[in-house]
Structure 1
Amino acid sequence: MIEVENLVKRFGGKVALKGISFTVYDGEIYGLLGPNGSGKSTTMRILAGIIPPTDGKVVVEGIDVAENPIEVKRIVGYIPETPVLYESLTPMEFFSFVGSIRGIPRTDLEERVERLGRAFGIEEYLGELIGTLSFGTQQKVSIIAGLLHDPKALILDEAINGLDPKSARIMKELLNGFKEEGRSIVFSTHILAIAEAICDRIGIIYNGELIAEGTPEELKRFAHEESLEDVFLKLTESQEEVSSLVRALREAF
């Protein structure tokens, strides 16, 4: 379980998060959606123990993030929006490095790399320098690195970005499998159709505040809209702006 209570984050004079609260239950995929700059990635990084909160409380699997961020990092699988990799290493060297930090036995590491590498189709790239790989392949390396230690909770910030359709489908099936095992999953994406398909509940964050929360069907009823995309645009005050921009483009052409 992941519990977020009155979470606040300030960067100098800017307030990125304004006291948001939500709970992610065991065996649940919770979607955190919002426009760029809304506070999604900041929230994800706090949940993963990467940066400390300014105020409020975050508890991941019974561990307070502010009190013990190292322990939180040990049990959480965090996959950032942009892969953070060592470009002068090969994927296999990088996985070995991650395994040594995580304390993964060598035989377990090799078995997990073989299984995940085959699933995501990167076996032929394991000996290539990461800096020479495409963005999509680097994203697969980042995903595998985040799963190697068999985490109890998953924090995925736009993790499907750059994946080909087959790999995106595999990722969705993996998440459903983790859900069935009772793990807590926080999932962020700009692809609303994917969020609607796999998320049990969704929280919409806007200007650092959680403005709506519920199942996809509950959100559609609340906003009187037929699609999650229309719900998102309406609640983030983007619907009229989008319509205006589209009209202007049509007139220009």
Structure 2
Amino acid sequence: MIIPFLAYKDLARDRKIVLLVVFLLAFSYVNLTFFAAFLHGLSDTFQNEAVDTSTSHILIEPRLESGSRYLEFAASTRKKIDLVPGVIGSSSHVQAPASILYRGAQFGARIIGLDPEADQTVTTVSAKVLKGEFLSGGHDDEVVLGEIIAGRTIEDTMGGAVGFGQAIEGLGGVSPGEKVRIRFANGVEKEYRVRGIVGTPGFSEVSQSVYITKKEAESVLGLHDQASAILVRLRDKSEAGRYKQLILELGIPNAKVQTW
């Protein structure tokens, strides 16, 4: 009986230490349980955002080993895909690096050429407009800038006039209606009117991209019926694996098909 008695006395004397140990054990359990759930939820949020704005449910790109930057016969490929039951729609993108120039500032960015009408059925980029409007058919001389590229002025950030709108970030605060010049990797340089600014929270692909019409991208880059990527949206995303196989069976030349 002496040992339990001594143990009890020791615990009673060091009550604060005992309570601290119990608290730390409880905190560790809660942390392991809820932090893992938080990370899982955060991962799902980022993935859903990427699917909605960048890849859709199925992404078709040229195979690396093919040595080609573009898929051929983009229009006929899309027609075949759109006829598959369960496919909501498809959209072909033309992508290219470029430099955006504005009032002495320069910013490197990725240009994405797309068909505005087709893309609305596949991605939510057109719904991410922060200022102005998104592209529409026939606006080949206009451009939509990602928020990070357009940048902000100190007034936008702090809410007060400082140094006549001294610029920070990106190009320093481009607004819809203003004009920028785009210098493409092939040496072509053209002026475009800014139609809108798009963005999503964080350093998303939308905020870091520049959008023009696919027709304009093809004209500048000298392409015809080619695409850097074809995005496919499904009614049931859980069936993406099955639809991937169906698309592979279409026999698209030099294509890599990925699901998300």
| Band of TM-score, shorter chain | under 0.3
The structure with the larger Rg is: 2
> What is the TM-score of this pair, normalised by structure 1?
0.26
- Structure number with the higher strand fraction is 2
Q: Name the structure, 1 or 2, with higher relative contact order (CA <8 Å, separation 6+).
A: 2
> What is the TM-score of this pair, normalised by structure 2?
0.26
- Structure number with the higher helix fraction is 1
